[in-house]
Amino acid sequence: MGLLWSLFAKPLIAIQDSEKAHRRAVKALVISDSFFLTRGLLKLTNRRAELPSERFGLSFPNPLGIAAGMDKDAKAVRGWGNLGLGFVEIGGVTMEPQEGNPKPRMFRVNKLQALVNRMGFNNLGSLKVAERLAKAKAKGKWPNVPVAANIGKSEKTANEDAAVDYSTTLGRLWPHVDLFIINVSSPNTPGLRELQEDAALEDVLKACFRANREMAEKSDADEKPILVKISPDLSDDEITSVVDVARAAGCAGIVATNTTTTRPTSSDAKVKSQLEQAGGLSGRPLARRSSEVIRIIAEHTEGDFPIIGVGGISGVDDAWEKITNGACLLQIYSALIFQGPAVVRRIVKGLKRKLSENGLSSLDQAVGLALSQ
């Protein structure tokens, strides 16, 4: 699969508009998953590397998942599982359907293996996505890994009404997914990051936990884990404040981090021009800062608050740094675009090798290892 990606898919993607290439890649995955032979080939060429762990009351076959934004409308839920990933995150989903920001709104910075996007939560809305998830489950088109939903705020909803917006979406998606990520940190919806402030975040989380409790009682089931996704652009004090609010509300953990509005310097004229595009930057330039944020959270909570690490993971060394800084699970996005599906197995096998080299027998033993050094 890696060779086929390098020879055929990668060159084709490189010459296409970024958003069109993204859309076609998801469509190709949907088609591949629709037929027995191609689905079998997909699973065979992307055999899941096993590195199991238990988190949030869920079993993860390996710690590497797909981050939000790759499949906003849950078009290929089972397909992502067939790429060997340990979990899948769909969304961001908003209460109301919305088109997002004007195009073009996604840009590749190939030399840096980075992306700039200002998508703006374009999605079908919570009712349609819930319907799609229900149909996928009913038809057996469901992955054998945990599925998370990333929830954002509808752009037309004022921040004062955000609590209702988020909790409504959570309630609609509740029957279909295993855990929720509350996204208050995307830089592409005006004013959204203000919801990371203490009082606003408390209101949003209070409403989400109320909806979670009501749905659990109605279904005679347990409440589902809720995590908060944090920005890398906060100060250290702001980071710990968000964490404290999330813990006090009863959240199961933190996702660190979202994309950044900061930019690396470059003497390359083309790269400089690409980096000047407005939006959130993801990919390799984000690696160091996201790892720093993970460490800040882990140290502040003394390793007692689960962290999903995301941002700039392009290989096993990035993944290992995040694990040893305190992350217990990981997510990729840009690496999948620039390196193809083979990167999943490569990273997980690399983590297994790192464990062996350090005399460790499980991933849990590596979580936060660097904090004591």
- The residues carrying an active-site annotation are 186
Nearest of 71, 127, 118, 123 to residue 99 by alpha carbon = 123
Neighbours of 92 (CB within 10 A): 25
Nearest of 57, 69, 13 to residue 221 by alpha carbon = 57
Is the backbone peptide bond immediately before 92 cis, with ω within 30 degrees of 0? yes
Q: What token pair was written down for 345?
A: 């197995």
Q: Is 256 exposed, middle or buried (0-12, 13-18, 19+ CB in 10 A)?
A: buried
Residue type, 12: L
DSSP string, 184-220: ---TTSTTGGGGGSHHHHHHHHHHHHHHHHHHHHHHT
Q: What token pair was written down for 301?
A: 């909570």
CB 67 within 8 A of CB 124: no
The rounded distance, in Å, linking the Cα atoms of 231 and 310 is: 11
User: 18 Cβ partners below 8 Å, 6+ apart?
Assistant: 104, 106, 107, 108, 115
CB 167 within 8 A of CB 208: yes
How far apart, in Å, are the Cα atoms of 125 and each of 155, 215, 257?
Answer: 12, 19, 24
How far, in whole angstroms, is CA 350 from its chain's centroid? Answer: 21
CB 280 within 8 A of CB 120: no
